[in-house]
Each structure stands twice: as structure tokens, then as C-alpha cells.
Amino acid sequence: MENKKLLEEISKRRIFGIISHPDAGKTTLTEKLLLHGGAIREAGTVKAQKNSKFAKSDWMEIEKQRGISVTSSVMQFEYDGKVVSIMDTPGHNDFGEDTYRVLTSVDSAVMVIDAAKGIEPQTKKLFQVCRLRGIPIFTFINKLDRQAKDPLELMEELEEVLGMPSVAVTWPIGSGMQFEGVYDRLASEVHLFRKDEVVQLGEDGVQGSELEGYLEEANLTNLRDEVDLLEGAGNEFDLELIQQGELTPVFFGTALADFGITPFLNHFLDMSPTPGNRKTTTGEVSPTDSTFSGFIFKIQANMNPAHRDRIAFLRVCSGTFERGMNVTLTRTGKSIKLSQSTQLMANDRETVNEAFAGDVIGIYDSGTYQIGDTLVGGKQKLFFEPLPTFPPELFLKVSPINSMKSKHFHKGVEQLAQEGAIQVYKNEFNDVILGAVGRLQFEVFEYRLKNEYNSEVRMESIDYTLARWVKTDDPKSLKKYQGLRNMLVFDNYERPLFLFANEFTLSRFQENNPELELVEALDVN
Ligand code: G4P
């Protein structure tokens, strides 16, 4: 009985993140999806949150900003019998390691592309993180209400720039001023733009007469030619390949005008996978296992600086979470009662009493958890695969302004490193070097050290942009490789790495020292 309910709940769950380059339309699409799901009532809600960017000098604002990003971290809604969770993947100024790590918690990703711009750098980076995990990627090509690139060219770009075969599920009819709708190839129907009308096609599809009179002559001819090409030379639709993350289904539309979203959402919910098995260090866990298990992929400080409380985000991987249950933190073997838990919705936080595999919950943390921690019901010794460390691209040297307060400084540095807010390295002189993938990580670091640890810091720029870990059993032997153009440092786990100024100095270093195995990323633990 219990198991039947669990199975049912799991099969309803869909959890995904939206990846895009800033301004491609992620916020607008998120908002439209929430509107369709009835999670918000007014357009502008998500947008308003995004625009509340903080000025560096305004500490109240940063609090507000952080509060907002807590509550919008997971947006859940029900649609067509499914429980859909959208995980926020911070972009713009908030881009950081969290953005990458969130992608370890999802079962699929939606990639939003601006139809006039094609693939942009940040999309590519995030795409690669998804690709590494082998999760299905759904492509939404946005802003068709504006002059767009040729859709066939866009499809080619996907294959060439990302190396991912694609299959068009919907197809645009014109763009910009000439945009007239999208053709849904699977449903064999055409959604007309600005007319709120759907034309069902006969067995000849777009070649039949059904569309005549509905579309501009030139658009119809063009559509027929393009569909001919797609049918002749395009990839075939293959659900298995899509679910294996080997083929991306492509949709077209305009998020701003809320057009093309309905066919996208319906197909997406049909095609996207339900929560699957998760790898542990000792085998796989199935979502239907009756024992509860999950892992922590993000930790966020509380908005109230008077308390050092944090919220740890846990992806449920198996079984049922019940409020008040006892779990074991397998890293320490400690038993913990999970009484304060929240589900983090678009606008308010609600306490959750029950959650299933495929849900994300926020749990109250007074400094107990680390990124990558596994929690299990009962006493099982289980560890989910470690989360990857992502190579930082920005580095700073940091020290306390008041050296009398260096104890506070070091405590704060250690805690923030543990939280995964920033990467912390030390060189042979015990200098503290910070590494980040986004600038905001530095600003939040500086702010939190001041406010939570009473330590004002001096940040100095250093000329390094690349980090490479070294695989070695004898870290001490690395000292002799230290030079003017690199710096040997140790991370929070005492693992050695070298910092380099640029690609050139890195490749010179590698050429001169072929015996060293340099790697871009390492697993935590
Ligand atoms: P992001 O989260 O990916 O950064 O993008 P966001 O949704 O904020 O969209 C970036 C800009 O693109 C916004 O304009 C938004 O209105 C616009 N936009 C999004 N989808 C579409 C679309 O389908 N068609 C057109 N024409 N524009 C679209 P903005 O001027 O920066 O903001 P606003 O002043 O319009 O709010």
C-alpha cells in the first residue's frame, strides 16, 4: 500500500533547471511556466525579484537580495497531474559555483537560446556541466517575435558548437514581423501566433491544404520546404536517445508573448524523465527504495545576520521524507532529527511534512552540514557520489585589516569554505587565496565576514586566472616546481594545485614538466 503511494508520487515528479546566457529569456520563461502552473497569478513576480539587484554599498539591499534568492531557489507547481520543480540557476551577477552545483540536483535541463544570437558562452559552459552528468537537455529557442536567425542554421549551430544532435519538435513559421506561429510536428498541428487558434493538419501534414488561407503565401512555401528538409535530412525523433541525454528536442516560441509555451510544456512533461537511480560509492539507490536518502547540494546563509543559521538544500533520492524523522549524517555517523524543514516556493516558504524522491527541501542548519553530505533514514552507511569541484577563474588574496582579529577571520574563512560559498587556498606563506567562478562570490564573502564574523578584510588582486590540481602522492615534492609564473597552493582538503596567469603559462608549464598530471576538476572528499 505504502509502496504504491510512493511509486505514484515519484512518477509524478519532474525536476529541472533552466540554463541560458544572461538575457536569453530564462526569467521570462520561468515566469510563464509558473503562470501556466498556477503557482503565480501575475506576470512580473519573478521579474521583480530579479531586478532587485543590490548596490554594493547598500547592506540592507544585499540582505533583501539574499532573502529573495532563498525563497526562489526552488519553484514548485502542479500541472496536468505532475509535480514540477524548477531549480533556480543563478545567472548574471549571481553566477557562481552554486549555479553549477544546482545542476547536480536536477533530472533534466531546459536550455534557453535567443533566436537572434544563437549559442552564447555561458550557455555553453552550463551545457557542458549537464552533458557530463548525462541528463536530458531540452532546447527552447526564444524571441521568435523578433528577427531571428534561420532556424535551420540554429539547429546546425547546436550540432556544431555543442556537438549535440538535435531534433525539432516544433518549428517556427517566420520570425519578427512575419512570425505567424509554430508547427507541432508530433501533434501534427499548427498554433497560430496572436490568433489563439490551432489548425489540425491532415495526413499530408503541412503539404496539405489545411493551412491555406491562414498563412502568408511566402511563409507557407518556406514552411513546406523546411519541413521537407527536416523530414529528409533531419534526425529522427527518438525518446530513448532524448532520455539518455544524447539528442536534444528543440522547441521554438516567444516567452514574452507566452507563445509556444503550451506545446513545449506538454511535450516536455511527457518526455522528461521521472527521478531515476542515483549512484553511491557502493552501488545505486533506486527512488522507490523505501528507506529515505538524499544529498545536500547547496547551503545558503540565513538572511538574518544575527543568527548564523543556514538552510541546506537536500535533494530527496529515495523513500519518503517525513517531518520529525531521524536521519543519519553518514559523514559523521551522527543521528539528526529533521524537525525544521521548508519547501522553498516561488513566494513563500511553507513547512513540509512529507516529501518524495524528486523533491528538494530546505532543512535548517546550524553548521552541521557540508556540500555533498548524504542523509539517510536508519543507520545505513551510504554516500552519494561526491559533487564535482568546478575550476575557478577568478582569484584574490585576502587578509584581515585588523590583525588582532585574525582568529575571527580564519574561523569565517573556514566556515564559508565548508559551506561551498567560495574556494579557499593557502600558499607556503599561509596567505589566503580565494577562488571563484563569479564575482558575486567575492562580494558575498567580504560582506559576510564583516557581518557574521566581525572581520573586515583587505582584498588584493593577483595575476592568476587558471587553476589545475595535481594528482600526486607526495605533495611536498611539488615545491621545486614553484616558479615566477605559477603559484603552488593547497585547497581546503589539503590537495595541491597550481595557479597560472593564462593558458600560455599553463601549457609552457605542462611542456616543461610532463611528469605532472594536471587536472581541471577534482571530486570533493
Ligand atoms: P534572463 O533571465 O535569461 O536574463 O532573461 P529575461 O527573461 O530577463 O529576458 C531578458 C530580456 O529579454 C527582457 O527584456 C525580456 O523582456 C526580453 N525577452 C524575454 N523573452 C522575450 C521574447 O520572447 N521576445 C522578446 N522580444 N523579448 C523577450 P528587458 O528589456 O531586459 O527587460 P524588460 O524591461 O522587458 O523587463
Write out pLDDT tens, residues 446-456: 988 998 889 99
* Residues within 6 Å of ligand 1 by CB: 20, 22-28, 47, 91, 142-143, 145-146, 254-256
pLDDT of 358 over the 60 cut: yes
Top pLDDT among 33 and 421 is at 33
pLDDT of 67 over the 50 cut: no
Helix (H) or strand (E) segment spanning residue 361: strand 360-365
Ligand 1 mean position, distance from CA 197 (Å): 25
For 449, the 3-state DSSP assignment is helix
Which pLDDT score is estimated for 302? 58
**Alpha-helix runs per DSSP H in 72-120:** 97-102
Q: Could you read off the pLDDT of 218-235 as tens digits, one per residue?
A: 999 999 999 999 999 999
Q: What is the rounded distance in angstroms from the CA atom of residue 197 to the CA atom of residue 402?
A: 68
Number of C-beta neighbours around residue 407 at 10 A: 11
- 198-214: b (≥16 Cβ within 10 Å) or e: ebebeeebbeeebbeeb
Top pLDDT among 303 and 444 is at 444
Ligand 1 mean position, distance from CA 255 (Å): 8
**Alpha-helix runs per DSSP H in 341-462:** 406-419, 439-453
Highest mean pLDDT among 23-37, 247-261, 335-349, 412-426: 247-261
Mean pLDDT of 2-7: 83
pLDDT of 8 over the 90 cut: yes
> Can you give the length of the chain in residues?
525
Q: What is the rounded distance in angstroms from the CA atom of residue 213 to the CA atom of residue 207?
A: 14
Q: 386: annotated binding-site residue?
A: no
Q: 22: annotated binding-site residue?
A: yes
Q: Could you read off the pLDDT of 270-295 as tens digits, one per residue?
A: 999 999 999 998 899 999 998 999 99
Q: Could you read off the pLDDT of 414-448 as tens digits, one per residue?
A: 988 887 779 999 999 999 999 998 888 898 889 88
Which pLDDT score is estimated for 391? 81
Indicate the pLDDT class of residue 213, thresholds 50, 70 and 90.
Answer: very high
Q: State which amino acid sits at residue 428.
A: E
pLDDT of 347 over the 70 cut: no
Q: Could you read off the pLDDT of 101-153 as tens digits, one per residue?
A: 899 999 999 999 999 999 998 899 899 889 988 999 999 999 999 999 999 99
Which pLDDT score is estimated for 430? 92
Which pLDDT score is estimated for 438? 83
Ligand 1 mean position, distance from CA 39 (Å): 20
Percent of the chain with pLDDT over 90: 63
- Give the residue whose CA is nearest to atom 17 of ligand 1: 25
| 20, 23, 88, best to mutate for ligand 1 pocket (most atoms within 8 Å of CB) | 23
Q: Could you read off the pLDDT of 174-188 as tens digits, one per residue?
A: 999 999 999 999 999
| 30, 146, 256, best to mutate for ligand 1 pocket (most atoms within 8 Å of CB) | 256
| 28, 31, 119, best to mutate for ligand 1 pocket (most atoms within 8 Å of CB) | 28
Top pLDDT among 205 and 70 is at 205
Stretch among 306-315, 371-380, 471-480 having the lowest mean pLDDT: 306-315
The atom of ligand 1 lying closest to the CA of 146 is 26
Which pLDDT score is estimated for 46? 56
**Nearest CA among 323, 317, 327, 322 for reference residue 380:** 327
- Mean of per-residue pLDDT scores for the chain: 87
Separation in Å, CA 259 to CA 51, 115, 254, 327, 334:
23, 14, 5, 45, 51
Which pLDDT score is estimated for 429? 92
Ligand 1 mean position, distance from CA 114 (Å): 10
Indicate the pLDDT class of residue 58, thresholds 50, 70 and 90.
Answer: very low
Q: Could you read off the pLDDT of 375-405 as tens digits, one per residue?
A: 999 878 899 988 877 788 899 999 999 988 8
- Give the residue whose CA is nearest to atom 10 of ligand 1: 23
Q: What is the rounded distance in angstroms from the CA atom of residue 436 to the CA atom of residue 421?
A: 9
Instruction: Catalogue the E-assigned strands of 195-253.
Output: 197-200, 248-252
- End-to-end Cα spacing for the chain: 39
Which pLDDT score is estimated for 304? 54
pTM to 2 decimal places: 0.86
